Copies of this chain bind each other. A is one copy, B any other.
Amino acid sequence: MAGGRKFMTKSGIEIAKFLDKRESFASAQEIFLGLRAEGRNFGLATIYRALQSLTSTGEVDVLRRSDGEALYRKCGEDHHHHLICKGCGKTIEIEGVSVEEWAHTIAERHGFREIQHSAEIFGICPDCFTQAEPKRR
């Protein structure tokens, strides 16, 4: 299901590596600044291009922040959902057999085909709950 691995440019590989080191979702702008902070300057266009390529193959997951900005994360190969801390952004990959069944059952009941679904959980992680200050954004 993880689309045929696509060719990746030199920059694309760097950007994928950068995402690999992050545990949380990051926006294109954050990636841009994060790489720059490491001394490696890429153009924004290059970053957006790489991100487009990476998401099209499923190598990178994307979701939308409440303000509409797109967030990217390098994830596991297989289908999964996310548990995300609203405080620090910590992200845990989760499975959801019951969700898969639910989506399938509902869709079938209404005669829908070519089904997709989204399901994410947001909350405050234990660290952020005890600490006054969340670690990061």
- Which A residues form the contact surface with B (CB < 8 A)? 64, 68-70, 83, 85-86, 92, 94, 96, 98-99, 101-103, 106-107, 110-126, 129
Known contacts A119-B117, A121-B116: A126-B111 contact under CB 8 Å: yes
Copies in the complex: 2
- A120 near B121: Cβ-Cβ < 8 Å: no
> Is there an interface contact between A123 and B116, defined as CB atoms closer than 8 Å?
yes
Distance A49 CA – B122 CA, assembled complex (angstroms): 26
Query: How many whole Å from A76's CB to the nearest CB in chain B?
Result: 16
Q: Inside 8 A of A122's CB, which chain B residues have their CB?
A: 115-118
A113 is contacted by which of B96, B111, B113, B123 (Cβ under 8 Å)?
B123
